[in-house]
Every structure is written in structure tokens, then in C-alpha cells.
Amino acid sequence: MQIDFRTSPDKYRHWKLDFDGPVATLTMDVDENGGLRPGYELKLNSYDLGVDIELNDAIQRIRFEHPEVKTVIMRSGKDRVFCAGANIRMLSTSTHAHKVNFCKFTNETRNGLEAASADSGQTYICAINGTAAGGGYELALATDYIVMVDDNSAAVSLPEVPLLAVLPGTGGLTRVTDKRKVRRDRADIFCTLEEGIKGKRAVDWRLVDETVKATALEERLGELASQFAAKSDRPANGPGVIFTPLERTIEDSAIRYKYVTVNLDRALGVADVIVRAPDSDAPKSAEEVVKQGDAFWPLQLARELEDAILHMRLNELSIGVWVLKSEGDVARVLGYDELLRKEKKHWLVREILHYWKRTMKRLDVTSRTLITLAEPGSCFAGFLAEIMFSGDRSYMFIGNEEGDNRPEAKLVLTESNFGPFPMGNGLTRLETRFLGEPESVAEARKHEGEEIDGETADKLGLVTESFDDIDWEDEVRIVIEERASFSPDGLTGLEANLRFAGPETMETKIFGRLTAWQNWIFQRPNAAGADGALKKYGTGIRPDYDKERV
């Protein structure tokens, strides 16, 4: 079964969106029978990937379609339960790859909530009216402010270790310590306590921000929403940009969008991912960007590339090497890049820039080998050059091949490559590339605005190697074939370690733990074996643990 990440509010089965001026309410009301596949019921607002696909879509639409929204209240539509977390039956019957990709996507969605606050002036308030367990509490942790009902019943918990023999898979450990600054020993108690913590103790330990009586909840949420909205710089009114359905064609050996094409070589396990320059010149102002709506090239490109990344992650598991390419008019790309930089304070342009940042981060944390090729006719310039610098390796063609009338491959650096699109480590891709060599970043910046050919890019260290027409085909072929022959397990660990050099951040911790520890724990017999905790959960039979520490 193929998983489709495209959705819209009229198709939601698990979330409800309501708008009242500057305040939006996002209500989680999961359809028990609405799982992605048969075999489990989503009881007590437990969730699977389909629930989070809708949540991701809702967050995006609130940002783009409703510029007037400054505060979002996230709450439950069910009585005395906020969210029971990831559905255990779904996890116990899923493939290992699905479990890990599910956790990765839910992590990205939680990061998207935090980015809406940090980048878009939208504050998220979580109202916990009952049980918030595991992934349910992790969802709350991603918001800015948590209000919990004080009724001697509502509680927060991360019971994965004692109940399931796995870790909180959506950043729970990291957000408890690094975001909410819960003391280490208290966090240790909390994360091994099945029943969780409630009331004053939850506030004292900084697990929630405040508790209120059930009768006072609505009034308090209204007060908080007004207070947070007053601090936002978002416009008081629209118009917003409506996201129309994304057009996509899936063939046996290709996935096609307007500006993105993925060509699949299943025998070799390789995909060529080609992004294309716009068909027309950039508009002159932010007002014209608003008029173009979701057809504005950088926005449509971000939507298409994001969907391609997510589709490939979940539905094309054996395609282990992605070869990233571009084609089109460099001058047109630079025109759009200049417009985005010139109008970056406009709310919509700001959202588009941050959308591109998030899309590039999805690429960074994808467990596939990324090889970038700058060939004749390519257009890696400005913000599009970030794709070039995302590669585990990058190669550039020198000059032209006889009979090829396409322009020579050139890289063009702009201000976009020196700040607006940081990786999860807080550094730009060039800063990460030249970690310990700040002079190399400074030298590259001296060439800002120039058309940099293959030989110069090689000397500047902007590419791994450059080749002329005599060597190009054989050298690139050898690199791709060799990479496709390696163990995908070893490559996943290798790439995740090497991509995030430099500072440790909450993001790198979350994805590092997911890639290494959760990836390992999810396969261990204590969790996933026939007598493991995931299999025995809910049966009344205790799991049989191998007590040997590894």
C-alpha cells in the first residue's frame, strides 16, 4: 500500500480546524476506525502516520492560508483524554522501516510546531484535559505553553521504557531536559513512572506550565490566547494563500510534478531527482507574489520537493541513492532569489523562505545517500544551490561536451547561502562543510554573485571533485555504483553522523537518537521479539527480557 502525504481539511478524519480572528483552534478527535491500514483501532486519540499527515497539513495551512492567526490552541475533542500517544497495535504490527520513518515524520511535525512559533509569530497553547501519555505528551511538549486541568485525573507521562521497552520516539527525552529544563534525576523518575505525574507536582517539575480547574479552563485559554496574540507581528488580515491540490503522476519508473521529476532505476537502487527552474521571470513585488499564490515558483517547488522526499522515504525503501540535479535558466533562478531576499520581511515571503528551510532539513535527515551533480544546463544558484551543498558528495562538470549546446555548469552564490537556511545544527551548509575552516567560508563569500565554473568550484572546495567530458561519465558511474553496493545499515549510520558536524542542538539530538538508539532498540527482542514488550502489551502477560546489557 502506498502512503500519500497529500491531504486537505475536507479530507481530514482526525483533526478539526476552527478560526476566530487571531485565534485558531486545532482539535484532535481521532476516528477510531480511520487507521492507514486494517488491524488496529485508534482508541483514546492514539495516532498513526495518517493522523500526523493531517496535523502537518493543518500546521502548514494555518501558516499560509491564515496570516491573521497569531495564536493556536491545540486541544482534544474527547472527554477526559488528550492523547494516548502512538498506537501500540500499529507499532507492534508494522515493519521496522515503517516504525522508524513514522517516528522521523512525527519528529519533523513537532519541529514544525516549534518553527511556527520561532519563525512565524504563531504561539501554540496546549490544553490537556485528561491523559497525555507517550506521544500524546510529546505532542504537548512541542507547543509553547501547556495548561493542564487539575481534577486529580489528568496526567502527563512518558511510559515507553517501563511499558514498551523502547524510547519516547518523538523527541520526548530531549524536550523534557533541553526545552523544559526538567532536572535530570526528576526526568529519570518521570520517564520510568507508568502512571505519570499530575497537578502541582507536574508544575513544580516544569512538566506543564500551569494547572486550572476544569470550570476555569475556557476563560484561561482565552486570556492566554489574547496575551500571546498581542506579541505577534503577523498581519491583522489577509489575503492568505490557499493550497490547491498538488498535481503528481506516478509511473513505474518515474514520479512527475511540474518542477520536480524523480526517475527510478530499481535494478541499481538509484533515483535521479531533478528540480527545474521557473518558466518565467520573477514578479516585481511581494504583492504580485500574493496574487500568484501557491503557483509562485519557489512555493510550488518547495511543496513538490517535500512531497517527493516524503513519498520516496516511505514508498521506495530500496532506492538507497538519490542523485540530485537541476536544469534551467540560472538568471531566472537568481531573479527569484533576489526577490525573496528583497521582500523577506513580507509575511508570505517570510513563510516561503522558512518553508524552503524546512524542506532542506527534510533532505538532511533522510536516510539515503545524497549525491549532487552540477552538469551543463544546471541552475544551482542562490537558494537552489543549497541542494548542491546538501550532498554527501558533489561533482561538477568542467566545460562542455562536444555537440552539447547547453550552458556550461556554473554555481552562483548569493546571500541565501550564508544564513537564511541553517541546518539542524544551527550552521549553514557551507559553515558545516568548512567546519574549522572559517577562512574557506570567507573566501567563498568573496565570489558571491559570480558564475563559478567547475575548476574554480573545485579550488574553493565547493564540490568534492570536478571532471571534464573525458572522465565525467566513468567517474560518476563508479561513485554511484560503489555507493549502491554498500550496506544500507552502515550507510544510514555513516551519513547521519557526518552530516551534522559541529554544535549539538535539540534537533541534532532528537534525530541522532532516532537514527541510532531508537533504530536499534526497535529491532531488539526485548521490544519487538515474540515475547517482547510491544507484542505482549495489553495481553496481561509480562514480556520476557534478555537481561544482558549491550
Mean per-residue pLDDT over the chain, rounded: 96
> Does residue 240 surpass a pLDDT of 90?
yes
Q: What is the mean pLDDT of residues 257-263?
A: 98
CA distance 48 to 53: 9
User: Would you state the cell numbers that stand for residue 63, as one nine-digit string?
Assistant: 501558516
Return the CATH fold of 249-410+452-494. Answer: 2-enoyl-CoA Hydratase; Chain A, domain 1 (3.90.226)
List pLDDT tens digits, range 65-78.
999 999 999 999 99
Residue 146: CB atoms within 10 Å: 25
CA distance 278 to 237: 30
> Does residue 109 surpass a pLDDT of 90?
yes
Surface-to-core class of residue 294, CB atoms within 10 Å of its CB (0-12 exposed, 13-18 middle, 19+ buried): middle
| Residue (of 327, 338, 464) closest to 389 by Cα position | 464
DSSP strands (E only) in 131-198 = 131-133, 145-149, 155-157
pLDDT at 252: 94
pLDDT at 261: 98
- Identify residue 267 by its one-letter amino acid code: A
Q: What is the mean pLDDT of residues 59-66?
A: 98
pLDDT at 182: 98
CA distance 303 to 310: 11
pLDDT at 514: 83
Between strands 145-149 and 210-212, the pairing is parallel
Residues 262/268, Cβ–Cβ less than 8 Å: no
Cα–Cα distances in angstroms (integers) from residue 284 to residues 81, 344, 349, 449, in the given order: 50, 13, 13, 20
* Euclidean distance between the first and the last CA atom of the chain, given in angstroms as a whole number: 36
Residues 148/140, Cβ–Cβ less than 8 Å: no
CA distance 171 to 70: 25
- pLDDT-derived band of residue 1, with 50, 70 and 90 as boundaries? confident
Helices 96-120 + 506-513 axis angle, to 10: 170
Where do the structural domains in the chain lie, given as residue ranges? 9-229, 249-410+452-494
Domains 9-229 and 249-410+452-494 share a fold: yes
pLDDT at 429: 98
pLDDT at 300: 98
List pLDDT tens digits, range 430-479.
999 999 999 999 999 999 999 999 999 999 999 999 999 999 999 999 99
CA distance 532 to 550: 17
> Does residue 519 surpass a pLDDT of 90?
no
Between strands 260-265 and 270-276, the pairing is antiparallel
Q: Is 366 left (phi over 0), alpha (psi -120 to 50) or beta?
A: beta
User: Would you state the cell numbers that stand for residue 455, as one nine-digit string?
Assistant: 575548476
pLDDT at 500: 86
Cis peptide before 22 (omega within 30 of 0): no
CATH homologous superfamily, domain 9-229: 2-enoyl-CoA Hydratase; Chain A, domain 1 (3.90.226.10)
List pLDDT tens digits, range 525-543.
999 999 999 999 989 999 9
CA distance 193 to 199: 15
Dihedral Cα 167, 170, 176, 181, nearest 10 deg = 130
pLDDT at 9: 97
Q: What is the mean pLDDT of residues 407-414?
A: 97
pTM score, two decimals?
Answer: 0.97
List pLDDT tens digits, range 337-391.
999 999 999 999 999 999 999 999 999 999 999 999 999 999 999 999 999 999 9
| Residue (of 205, 108, 203) closest to 146 by Cα position | 203
* Long-range pairs for 258-262: beta carbons < 8 A, 24 or more residues apart: 258/300, 258/304, 259/297, 259/300, 259/301, 259/304, 260/301, 260/304, 260/305, 260/308, 262/308, 262/312
CA distance 213 to 271: 55
Please, what sign has the CA dihedral across residues 163, 166, 167, 168?
negative
Please name every residue paired with 260 in a beta bridge, in sequence order, or none if there are none: 275
Catalytic residues: 138, 160
List pLDDT tens digits, range 119-131.
999 999 999 999 9
- pLDDT-derived band of residue 147, with 50, 70 and 90 as boundaries? very high
